[in-house]
Amino acid sequence: MHSPISEEKVFKDPVHNYVHVQDDIIWRLINTPEFQRLRRVRQLGTSYLTFHGAEHSRFSHSLGVYEITRRIISQFERRGYSDWPAEERHVALCAALLHDLGHGPFSHSIEEAFNMNHEDWTCRILLGDTCVNKVLQELGADFPEKVASVINKTYDKPIVMNLVTSPLDADRMDYLLRDAYYTGVNYGTIDIDRILRMLRPFRDRVVVKESGMHAVEDYLMSRYQMYWQVYFHPVTRSSEIILRQIFRRAKELHDNGYAFRFMVEPLPALFEGNIGVNQYLRLDEALIQTAFLQWTEEEDKLLGELCGRFMHRKLYKYVEIDNIDLETIDGIRQAFRDAGLHPEYDLEIDFPTDLPYDKVHSDMPLNEKQILLLDRHDELREISEVSDIVRSISGIHKGRYHLYFPEEKVYPLLEQMPEKIGEIFKQQN
Amino acid sequence: MHSPISEEKVFKDPVHNYVHVQDDIIWRLINTPEFQRLRRVRQLGTSYLTFHGAEHSRFSHSLGVYEITRRIISQFERRGYSDWPAEERHVALCAALLHDLGHGPFSHSIEEAFNMNHEDWTCRILLGDTCVNKVLQELGADFPEKVASVINKTYDKPIVMNLVTSPLDADRMDYLLRDAYYTGVNYGTIDIDRILRMLRPFRDRVVVKESGMHAVEDYLMSRYQMYWQVYFHPVTRSSEIILRQIFRRAKELHDNGYAFRFMVEPLPALFEGNIGVNQYLRLDEALIQTAFLQWTEEEDKLLGELCGRFMHRKLYKYVEIDNIDLETIDGIRQAFRDAGLHPEYDLEIDFPTDLPYDKVHSDMPLNEKQILLLDRHDELREISEVSDIVRSISGIHKGRYHLYFPEEKVYPLLEQMPEKIGEIFKQQN
Amino acid sequence: MHSPISEEKVFKDPVHNYVHVQDDIIWRLINTPEFQRLRRVRQLGTSYLTFHGAEHSRFSHSLGVYEITRRIISQFERRGYSDWPAEERHVALCAALLHDLGHGPFSHSIEEAFNMNHEDWTCRILLGDTCVNKVLQELGADFPEKVASVINKTYDKPIVMNLVTSPLDADRMDYLLRDAYYTGVNYGTIDIDRILRMLRPFRDRVVVKESGMHAVEDYLMSRYQMYWQVYFHPVTRSSEIILRQIFRRAKELHDNGYAFRFMVEPLPALFEGNIGVNQYLRLDEALIQTAFLQWTEEEDKLLGELCGRFMHRKLYKYVEIDNIDLETIDGIRQAFRDAGLHPEYDLEIDFPTDLPYDKVHSDMPLNEKQILLLDRHDELREISEVSDIVRSISGIHKGRYHLYFPEEKVYPLLEQMPEKIGEIFKQQN
Amino acid sequence: MHSPISEEKVFKDPVHNYVHVQDDIIWRLINTPEFQRLRRVRQLGTSYLTFHGAEHSRFSHSLGVYEITRRIISQFERRGYSDWPAEERHVALCAALLHDLGHGPFSHSIEEAFNMNHEDWTCRILLGDTCVNKVLQELGADFPEKVASVINKTYDKPIVMNLVTSPLDADRMDYLLRDAYYTGVNYGTIDIDRILRMLRPFRDRVVVKESGMHAVEDYLMSRYQMYWQVYFHPVTRSSEIILRQIFRRAKELHDNGYAFRFMVEPLPALFEGNIGVNQYLRLDEALIQTAFLQWTEEEDKLLGELCGRFMHRKLYKYVEIDNIDLETIDGIRQAFRDAGLHPEYDLEIDFPTDLPYDKVHSDMPLNEKQILLLDRHDELREISEVSDIVRSISGIHKGRYHLYFPEEKVYPLLEQMPEKIGEIFKQQN
């Protein structure tokens, strides 16, 4: 069995005040190059272009998720709940700490552009020839596999997976608090101490004592507000669109044998779709930003212009519309083509949606997407059965269409497009 | 004269809640590539390796300095103080916003390594062929020069320079608050509203109403604590030392014609000391980090090792001693040489000092390094004459010697060094 | 016209940081005995028995409401909106400052017990022979009447009334923030700066710019949470019930000619329902608490016991039930009577309800209970038409029945009551 | 041995977020009438007349002191320090909770006026025929005496006394944080988590690990600022002076057989100096305020006027002077007498002093007024030996003379006083 470290170590953290490291294995994992790499991947991707304070890294967030998980488990241990399998402490803590290890730079955009998945990468790093793998092996040859199976949800202890991934898990709690703190918005101020105090291990699940219902309602509302105020902010979406266009264009050029003035490993492998674990670990946001800044001077005008837009924050303008039908979209694309615009690079249509909480109808069996309340008779109830507020908002997805486009190019050409299209693009917002 | 923008724009800021942009010139300056570049230069250099939250940029800080200056000027205008030259508003605001424009990546280390000065670079950017220069010229052909002269302290309106640079200026107030917020330490919580309310333009100076004395004392104490708790933190110093060693080694290699596996513009010009403005503007921390990560695989072992240390946070260990004499230092260096260690790369001696406040003796004339209190008889008094606390701490410089060294290399060789030296390096901390 | 004071005065306030007093009339109103009396009336009545931090006074809250109103008006003036009648500044500020002047000690309970109304009392104080009236008269003989007519909603400038009283007024904004601050709960953290920035005078109303919708949603959710977590907390309700029982019992005794060991002016007039303005102004919570503590030793056992319960916080226990019908209630009352219990003093049934927001159906005319959004085409829309969240929660009233009773008396007698009744009272919570 | 309670109870607290009650004895002590009485005694006496938010009670503070002590002890237990006597847990927690039990209303003023001492009263209540005594006896017949001996510093376990009373104890930490929170000033924001983490039981003392030195410096500076900004605020001192004058006058009248229109038990016993424990427990601020408000209409003009001043906040004006000699004071008193003013009631001279930290010279033995640092060699050093800052400020007492007087009475008579005296009173502040 692994021993605790001689003296607890702490990290000063603005969100949790201190992150406490009590196990040697955690300390050693934090000090691996793979985990240190997360310092160079922002937690919120391009959001810093909207909220300049949002420059915090996945490193910070990962420590936070670990810390919340540690507090939950400590509480379970202190209170001696019999439904919590005490021997799972290390698996749970390691999975919490490492769950985001596979995130690439500007993760959502790069995943979309190159059809990757960060959870797969997390598992590949855990199981590959890496320092993280070596440290994990100290707890047993099968320990890396255990941690990976929590991540990919095949572990045979459901309560561990439920602790690490659920609609009310340490991941979500940390990111709401942390993203609110760094952006400076007020919405994420959930009463985490109260929520944590209300959590109970119960059979295969981590559930919430009924008297914690209002704290959970507040958490779900915070989540809702953060989605619409921060995560789906149109300026952020605009920068993500440009980012994806850059990746798309660079890959096109690479596929066509274009000779880049500047190229750096492991971008070619990324474009070719055969990037290995150790190459992947060299991808970070410093590399992406360096490539983009160098590419502002590429011969290929489109790539240069897109990179200039991203690096100097000359983002696409957007208009917002309640609804749009396919025919109109086709019409716009055709008008763009007719005007000499690029129907894809010069126009992107975006429709963000989110469900504040995925209620599951009462006739469905309990599943891991539900938040369960434990009443005084030890009966479980899905929260939307009990909470008017949660029931009211469960069905809300919301969302309006946003059209993104390069203002300087499109505006002068609106004259020659059908009037109806001109009106759409000319509205004020 | 320049017109205000149609509708005030705001930036959400965690420290000041909102940064208000009311003048078109400010909005346009923020949107220049030169100003946007500050997003890629961290406010606190390598401090993020000690305080993981300290990932905020000079972009954020510059907005904050602008905002505080705007509030001071608005208050002067609202109260109609005759000693404030109202026509200087734009000069002061632009100087406040742009004062850090010349900072390079990991500024303090790179300045030391390459003997540069960020204020000079700020002026070169303001006066060079840049977008910032063009925007400033809209307010008059001599306007860029005016702003630059505030930065280099030759402007003919002393009160403007005193507003922008003094021991109690917007720069210092913002960085204390901001660095405290992002690191998460409690020390920087100065009562900025109260300090601002107490500021008065008085002849050539911005002075403090006497009843604001305690708020200023508190500010000076916060500054003191931030220096010793954050800015001079030995882990941060350790990473700065490695950074400088990397720059030094890379320049040595470049000077010797070493063929780097990875090299990117404008690093060669930086090494050669003939970097131009537009090259300089391409330097940012993304580029430095990218070069360092690539260099971990350079053939030159020393460079590779140093870069690995920096990127994967395998910093030098340190020991702290109250005092050390030159003879002992020489002895240590010789012992290192004898043991086959590099007497410079494998050992750095650091002695951080700071004065919480540079009191100036009462027999000296008033100068810009003093904080002046204005009493009810309109007499000025230097604060340390009035405040026991400030007088007490003015002379304190403090500081202990720190020896930094690569633990893994040095420890096995201590046996063969003189016992006295072994004791120095073996102490616990 | 009234002049501004020579130098702005400030009050240090934990919620708004500083409350700024810029008009002499405001300064003089604050210093009247009638306004100072509000220091001795708690903002949240008996809530301090649930949340020990909630000891803040109506004095604090009144300053806060004034400060928010001042900020709104300053913004309207600074931006020069033509729909805001600038000459109404003083009326609006005075009405904001003084709107709670008529609150008695433990206001809600005393109003219920003696059938009074604090708004009437506010007007009586404004118009009576009081210091406040004299100060107000300095702005014109009809000025007190103007201010009173804003309070009782008969003023002929609807926008002033809408500013002072609406579902999104300074009163509500201050109490959410302040009550959250002093209780220590997290729910009231609304982004007041953002809401204020989004307010617009528009015809007869103060409306919200459409882009402020999410901030208003967040405000309504905070309000919802504060109601259920704080204002309707069963422990608080329990203490209010005892308070009302004390008032009821004391009045019964007084009406029956009982000779109190301790009695103090103006309580007899209060019991007799003929209390005058100057007597009313001597009522405060110090007097009520003093009377109650003295009454713990009254000969009348019931009064003594109730006062002991209130002063020493031996509150009634409660059980919570989803629903209860009249028949059951009658059954309980009868069982209580049969067991020798008092069917009124020993049992109280409470059913708190609240609507987070009183939506008004789209076919109704605009009214002052609606929050209106102003879109970019200067069209007004009631917020629940636009916001999914607000629409979802508008209908929610919620609430469960709570039965309050003296545990020590009732429990031993449950045996002899019908089993069904015993079960109701024996449940755990 | 006493058992823990079935389920931990919590109090929501704005300063510590939650106060955790884990022992039945603590829960029962909190629910005694003697402890509940502390709700009616403000923590900061008359400070609410300066800082309107400072309406918090000694009840809140006592819970806070208990909570900090509980955290310290929990940490000692969790880490298994052998120098901490685990069996002292209950004594220490009870002493922490109850240490302020003997505070009377407006404690400092009433103690001064009637020559009482709250620590004596605490012990009398602990040992008298009270509910608190009965609850304490459940832990042993000698348990009340044990707790009392910690309060009066005669307990035979020095480390328990040092934990409960020292320059860095839970009492001081809680009041700095709490008073800062409720007044709204920024000065009290000490990093309590860090200080707590650095505490070590060491022989007979609770000492601070050397690396916590900066946190202690910050704590001492906060304490200094709170004293001068809050506790010694001249407006607060002015109201305390009036309070003492009221007590003095009322006692004079009582001694002279004056027939009060309003009198209430136990004030006569207080005046006569023979008040018993159960009478004392009926003293609270509600009673004092009620008496004062009633006394505003006493026949005795002076008493009526003083009570009106206190209740309606018509405080004495003050002037501040650097120094004053006895001769001048005599001159002023004579001039007051000559002008028909009362040389005592119409003039009070105040000289507040405080030492931020009572350093003890290095040649003195260690004592309980010192803060001790524990270095890595397990050597203790008094903090001012190590910290430049603490050494610098230890000698500072500061303080200026303040003259308080009724402006309306004194000003018209200044003309007829010697010019020098007129100048003193006429200065602006």
Pick from D17, D194, D197: CB nearest A193: D17
Is C197's CB within 8 Å of B18's CB? Answer: yes
pLDDT at A401 over 50: yes
Contacts of A194 in chain D (CB under 8 A): 18
Interface test with B, best of C15, C17, C177 (most B CBs within 10 A): C17
Helices (H) and strands (E) in chain C, counts: 22, 9
Q: Tell me which chain B residue has its CA closest to the CA of residue C12.
A: B194
| CATH 1.20.1250.30 given to domain B233-313 | yes
Is the confidence at residue A364, as pLDDT, over 60? no
pLDDT at D367 over 90: no
E strand or H helix at B10, and its extent?
strand B4-13
Question: Position of tokens 């507003």?
Answer: B163
pLDDT at C35: 98
Average pLDDT for chain B: 92
Say if residue C326's pLDDT is above 60.
yes
Q: What is the mean pLDDT of residues C39-52?
A: 97
- The residue whose two tokens read 């200094």 is D224
Q: What is the pLDDT of residue C427?
A: 75
Burial of residue A361 (number of CB atoms within 10 Å: 0-12, 13-18, 19+): exposed
Q: Which chain C residues are within 8 Å of B10, Cβ to Cβ?
A: 197
Checking if the pLDDT of A35 tops 90, the result is yes
Q: What single-letter DSSP state applies at residue C11?
A: E
Query: Is the confidence at residue A81, as pLDDT, over 80?
Result: yes
Please give the sequence-ordered ranges of beta strands (E in DSSP) within B159-239, or none if there are none.
199-202, 205-209
CATH 3.40.50.1240, domain A245-352+400-426, yes or no:
no
Per-residue confidence at C186, pLDDT binned at 50, 70, 90?
A: confident
For residues C366 and C382, is the Cβ–Cβ distance under 8 A?
A: yes
The pLDDT, as a whole number, for residue A388 is 82
Does D119 contact chain B (CB < 8 Å)?
no
Between residues A400 and C318, which one has the greater pLDDT?
Answer: C318
In which band, very low, low, confident or very high, does the pLDDT at B321 lie, cut at 50, 70 and 90? confident
What's the whole-number mean pLDDT along residues C43-54? Answer: 97
Nearest by CB: D190 against B186, B376, B392: B186
Instruction: Answer whether residue C367 shows pLDDT above 90.
Output: no
Q: Would you place residue D319 in the very low, low, confident or very high pLDDT band (cuts 50, 70, 90)?
A: very high
The rounded mean pLDDT for chain A is: 92
Flag whether the ipTM exceeds 0.90.
yes
Closest residue of chain D to B213, computed from CA coordinates: D229
Can you tell me the distance from the alpha carbon of A247 to that of A237, in angstroms, rounded to the nearest whole number? 15
Maximal C-alpha separation, chain C: 74
Q: Tell me which chain B residue has its CA closest to the CA of residue A293.
A: B282
**Residue C214 is nearest to which of A225, A389, A427, comparing CB atoms?**
A225
User: What are the φ and ψ backbone dihedral angles of B378, each rounded to 5 degrees?
Assistant: 60, 30
Q: Which residue has the higher pLDDT, A362 or C185?
A: C185
CA angle C178, C181, C184 (to 5 degrees): 140
The per-residue pLDDT for range A183-206, each reduced to its tens digit, is 999 876 788 999 999 999 999 999
| Distance (Å, whole) CA C315 – CA C307 | 10
- At A283-323, the pLDDT tens digits run 999 999 999 999 999 999 999 999 999 999 999 999 988 88
Are the Cβ atoms of A429 and C396 closer than 8 angstroms? no
3-state SS class at C402: strand
**How many Å apart are CA B24 and CA B2, to the nearest integer?**
8
Domain(s) labelled CATH 1.10.3210.10 in chain B stretch across: 4-231
Domain(s) labelled CATH 1.20.1250.30 in chain A stretch across: 245-352+400-426
pLDDT band at B1 (very low <50, low <70, confident <90, very high): very low
Give the pLDDT confidence score for residue D187 in this predicted structure. Answer: 77
Contact A197 D10 (CB under 8 A): yes
Section B24-38 average pLDDT: 98
Rounded distance between C-alpha atoms, residue D287 and residue D268, angstroms: 13
> What confidence tens digit (pLDDT) does each residue in C194-245 have?
999 999 999 999 999 998 998 999 999 899 889 888 999 999 999 999 999 9
Mean pLDDT computed over B99-117: 94
Distance to chain B for C369, nearest Cα, Å: 30
> Would you say residue D81 has pLDDT above 90?
yes
Q: Which amino acid is at A294?
A: Q
Please state the rounded mean pLDDT for residues A6-19: 91
C86–B contact, CB cutoff 8 A: no
Chains linked to C by 3 or more Cβ pairs within 8 Å: A, B, D
Which residue type does D374 have? L
Q: Residue D5, CB half-sphere, CA atoms under 13 Å: how many?
A: 13
Residue-level pLDDT at B366? 62
Average pLDDT over residues B245-263: 97
Asked whether the predicted pLDDT for residue A362 surpasses 80, the reply is no
Instruction: Provide, as residue numbers in chain A, all residues whose Cβ is less than 8 Å from the Cβ of C225.
Output: 214, 217-218
Residue D5 is predicted with a pLDDT of 63
pLDDT digits (tens, 9 = 90+) for A110-124: 999 999 999 999 999
Q: pTM of the entire structure?
A: 0.94
Q: What percent of chain C has pLDDT over 90?
A: 78
Judging contacts by C-beta atoms under 8 Å, the chain A residues touching residue B282 are 293
For residue D167, the distance in angstroms to the closest alpha carbon of chain A comes to 25
Q: What string of DSSP letters covers A241-295?
A: HHHHHHHHHHHHHHHTT---SS--TTHHHHHHT---HHHHTT--HHHHHHHHHHH
Task: Identify the pLDDT of residue A358.
Answer: 61
Confidence band of A158 (pLDDT split at 50, 70, 90): very high
Q: Sorting pLDDT into bands at 50, 70 and 90, what band is D362? A: very low
**pLDDT value at position D45?**
96
Contact residues, A window 139-198, toward D, CB-based 8 Å cutoff: 193-194, 197
pLDDT at C6 over 80: no
Q: Which residues of B touch C10 (CB under 8 A)?
A: 197
Chains in contact with A, counting 3 or more C-beta pairs less than 8 Å apart as contact = B, C, D
Chain B within 8 Å of D322 (Cβ-Cβ)? no
Question: Given CB atoms, is B354 within the 8 Å cutoff of chain D?
Answer: no
Average pLDDT, rounded, for chain C: 92
A392, pLDDT greater than 90:
no
Of A214, A225, A376, the CB nearest to C225: A214
Query: Could you say which of B189, B228, B427 has the minimum Cβ distance to residue D186?
Result: B189
Write down the pLDDT at residue C1.
43
Q: Which residues of C are less than 8 Å from A185 in CB distance? A: 191
Structural Rg of chain A based on CA atoms: 24
Q: Output b/e per residue, D303-312; b: 16+ Cβ within 10 A.
A: bbbbbbbbbb
Output the six-digit token pair for D342. Answer: 């009362």
pLDDT above 70: residue A1? no
On chain C, the residues whose CB falls within 8 A of the CB of B18 are: 193-194, 197
Does residue A428 carry a pLDDT above 80?
A: no
Residues of chain B with CATH 1.20.1250.30: 233-313
Q: Kindly identify which residue of chain D lies nearest to residue B389, measuring between CA atoms.
A: D393
pLDDT tier, B5 (very low <50, low <70, confident <90, very high otherwise):
low
User: Does the distance separating the beta carbons of C10 and B197 come in below 8 Å?
Assistant: yes
Predicted confidence band of residue D301 (pLDDT cuts 50, 70, 90) = very high
Give the pLDDT band of residue C353 (cuts 50, 70, 90).
Answer: confident
Name the class of domain C4-231.
mainly alpha
Q: How many angstroms away from the CA of D354 is the closest CA of chain C?
A: 24
pLDDT digits (tens, 9 = 90+) for B198-244: 999 999 999 999 989 989 999 998 998 898 889 999 999 999 999 99
Helices B234-255 & B301-311 angle (0-180, nearest 10): 150
Tell me: pLDDT of D89 over 90: yes
Mutate to test the interface with A, among B52, B131, B265, B428 (most CBs of A within 10 A): B52
Q: How far is CA A369 from the centre of its chain?
A: 17
Distances (CA, A) of A154 to A85, A123, A147, A162, D341: 17, 12, 10, 11, 90
Strands B205-209 vs B372-374: parallel, antiparallel or unpaired: parallel
